[in-house]
Amino acid sequence: MAKIKKKGTSGQAKNYITRTQAVRKLQISLPDFRRLCIFKGIYPREPRSKKKAAKNSTPNTTFYYTKDIQYLLHEPLLRKFREQKALSKKIARSLGRGEVGDAARLEKNLAPKLSLDHIIKERYPTFVDALRDLDDCLSLLFLFASLPSTTSVPPKTIARCQRLCHEFQHYLITTHSLRKSFLSIKGIYYQATIQGQDILWLVPYRFVQKVNGDVDYRIMATFVEFYTTLLGFVNYRLYTSIGLVYPPRFDSASDERGAELAAFKLESKNVGQLKALEQPTTNGSQPSNEVSKEIQEKVDEVVKSAGLDQGTDNQVAEDQTTNEYAIDKFEPAAPEADMLPQPDGSESEAGSLFSSFTFFISREAPKAPLEFLLRSFGCKRIAWDEVAGEGAFTNDENDPRITHQIVDRPPLPESALPAVPENTSGDSGRLRRGGRIPGRTYVQPQWVWDCVNEGKLLRPDIYAPGATLPPHLSPWVKATRGGYDPRASLADQEEEGEAERAEEVEDSESEDDAEDAKNTGEDEDVEVDEDEESEMEDDHGMDVDGSEESDSNEEENDDFDGFDDAAEVASESEDEDETLRSQHQKELEAEAAGLPFSGSANGSSAKKSSSKNKKYQAQKRKEEEELERQKMMMSRKKRKLLDKMLYSNKKKDEEAQKLRSKRRKIENAAKSKV
């Protein structure tokens, strides 16, 4: 006879454990249990049958894996939590006795310090694992770096988050690892590539943040405590991998004066080795692989005298320089084929995009993200006003070395500009507020983001102050065939006859609105007549025999679908007769008034548009009928799959059509204004 199994000793009842049972087993409080689960990366699970897992009839229960809770029994942080609980009891006892000094001494000297180093090593055995989990870490730390200090968010936490984020930004600037950025409603998205791993994070805009009471900042503070430890490990590894000293030198005084990134000074570990390598080339003899200047000059003279330097050598040199670091571009074999993903530019190209320019950031432009982007893509000289803080290349807006100025306000007319200051001190180069310096390029901030995403310098005149900017699209969303593309013209995206059909719909809507407006004045009279008729019916009305039969006959006629073609032909002929009569009447009225009549052209155009619309509807009906015939030959599984595909494609087409109609209305309104 087989052994009888005891209930609750196998299956889901053994594999899962409730949160209450887990807290009792670990002998800690519920907040400490939450902290421990966040540190260790343990989260609730959903069993297939809650009734079997709970061993009772209470469905609303949080479950964990039993093995995970068993793994937590050997965690060293449990001892720290218990020590902290014992210390809190001693402090409460001292405060109850009125011994405030003893309570402060206990809190200062005996408070246990939590170390999460061993947890970081357990959760991320390799450095690539830590880089893959860096997206949420950076988003949360950049968020806390922009929050105001409150009781729930202490200033020490904010300062630590700011320092770690600036250190990470300095690594991206040094290695030119930043690839793309996007301005969205939520904030600014950044993407960097570090050791082959794409890291995407979100940085909020620098507005005044309101700390609401709806958010549980205790749980978020636990995540911040873990992520600060993680980012500290990552920054140390990144800095040491490129030969920099970590942590970098930090000037707190300049940081208080608004220096931000300029408050950090990077130092290299191999400075002595670099100097030793440079000394033989500068002070000592030349290396054997280099040619002396005298020999090179003699060779150049011989080549010029022989005429060998014309054409071929220059072409070979140009081909070598252009093709040595050129990136292959994959082009589709057919015009309707899918676009292959193009490779990104190298670090040298990304590091030299803005290297030859000197930028001046105006006071109204966002300095922090612009400085980070410009420095990440090679710009060494960035200037701004003294109000924005320290660390600028220069604070003089009239500096002739400035080539580009980022302005985020429209240009003012000459009448609105202040008067030119009198030249009393001999300062001839002083500029009045709102003026323009000749020879300098003025652009809006979006030009920097679009150049970064495109990987090349775009035309600055399109981004001039006050100009209508081109659409700022996400670099991670690729244009699909049949979808709406804001950069392309409407003529390239519209279907055949789509604009004409949209105009017909708009005209019909406008006519309906006009008729409604005309009928509003007649509604009162109609209501009075209806009231009188109802009174007459109440006084003298009689039911006519056969009225029910007539109603049933009407319903039968509505249900009957036969003779569609004949009905359509009759309706079309009636419509044509009505249009001819109205056109003839308008001609007579215009002739009597002595005015020219242009209704024939309108009537012909209306006939053409209506005929095109009817042809489009007929063609669409034929395509649907053909598709239904093809679906009849498919199996049920393939038919359902095809229906899902058609439904999703129809939704996408409708969304694209709505966006095109909105753009068409905007363009028509702009043309009418002009």
Phi, psi of 554 (to 5 degrees): -65, -40
Instruction: Kindly give the parts of the chain with pLDDT less than 70.
Output: 1, 8, 56-59, 271-350, 414-434, 482, 491, 496-500, 502-577, 593-613, 674
DSSP codes of every residue in 298-314: HHHHHHHHHTTTSSHHH
Strand partners, 412: none
Strand partners, 65: 16
CA dihedral (80, 83, 88, 89) positive or negative: positive
- Inter-residue contact 170 to 261 (CB < 8 Å): yes
3-state secondary structure of 192: strand
Q: Is 354 exposed, middle or buried (0-12, 13-18, 19+ CB in 10 A)?
A: buried
Phi, psi of 189 (to 5 degrees): -90, 140
**163/141 Cα distance (integer angstroms):** 10
pLDDT computed for residue 316 by the predictor: 37
pLDDT computed for residue 499 by the predictor: 66
Short-list 349, 481, 364, CA closest to 412: 364
Short-list 22, 17, 44, 18, CA closest to 33: 22
Instruction: Output the six-digit token pair for 197.
Output: 């791993």
Q: Cβ of 384: how many Cβ atoms within 10 Å?
A: 25
Short-list 51, 42, 54, CA closest to 16: 54
b (16+ CB within 10 A) / e for 459-468: eeeebbbeee
Report domain extents, the chain. 12-109, 117-265, 347-413+437-478, 626-674
CATH H-level superfamily of 347-413+437-478: BRCT domain (3.40.50.10190)
Q: Is 21 exposed, middle or buried (0-12, 13-18, 19+ CB in 10 A)?
A: middle
3-state secondary structure of 650: helix
pLDDT computed for residue 344 by the predictor: 56
